[in-house]
């Protein structure tokens, strides 16, 4: 463990960070994490067995439905109208292969997505993932704690935006 965080959790959060911050930052963070923990990577599914793609898609649809709730169909239609490949990748790669991996619960995953999109200033995604955290079982107070924790990196403007969005969501 590093500072009380199970290595598996850190590994999972690093893997999912590719979705929000890209490979260069995720690779850099993984190097820092490996050095800080001194532990090898957790041995869960490696994501390289593409025969699992149908299962990734199914679990991606289920996870995406949880996060977006009543807005799921609208999200899928909107993303598909941008490009059908983006919709397929979002569900299969993003929500199925990545965010639905074993090893970490959805609520904690959503808290980390909240932090990342706050830092990026991505208001629409922040709104969606604040709702997603609530749909995954987080209380408003817990979501507020995630905002406060991310605020040290995101800055006061991002914190104010996130707090305003969370207030609207309830």
**pTM (predicted TM-score):** 0.90
Nearest to residue 113, comparing CAs of 95, 97, 92? 95
CB contact set of 20 (below 8 Å; sequence gap of 6+): 113, 116, 117, 120
Q: Which fold has domain 105-170?
A: AhpD-like (1.20.1290)
Render pLDDT for 28-63 as a digit per residue (tens, 0 to 9).
Answer: 999 999 999 999 987 777 788 999 999 999 999 999
Domain positions in the chain are: 1-40, 51-103, 105-170
Is residue 1 scored above 90 in pLDDT? no
């Amino acid at each position: 463990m590093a500072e009380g965080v199970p290595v598996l959790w850190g590994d999972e959060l690093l893997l999912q960070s590719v979705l929000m911050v890209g490979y260069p930052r995720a690779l850099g963070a993984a190097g820092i994490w490996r050095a800080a923990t001194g532990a090898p990577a957790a041995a869960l599914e490696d994501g390289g067995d593409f025969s699992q793609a149908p299962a990734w898609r199914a679990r991606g649809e289920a996870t995406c439905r949880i996060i977006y709730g009543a807005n799921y169909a609208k999200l899928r239609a909107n993303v598909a109208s941008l490009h059908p490949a983006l919709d397929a990748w979002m569900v299969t790669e993003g929500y199925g292969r990545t965010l639905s991996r074993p090893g970490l619960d959805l609520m904690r995953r959503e808290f980390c997505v909240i932090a990342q999109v706050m830092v990026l200033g991505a208001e629409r995604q922040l709104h969606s993932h604040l709702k997603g955290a609530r749909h995954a079982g987080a209380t408003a107070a817990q979501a507020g704690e995630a905002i406060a924790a991310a605020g040290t990196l995101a800055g006061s403007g991002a914190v104010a935006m996130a707090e305003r969005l969370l207030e609207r969501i309830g």
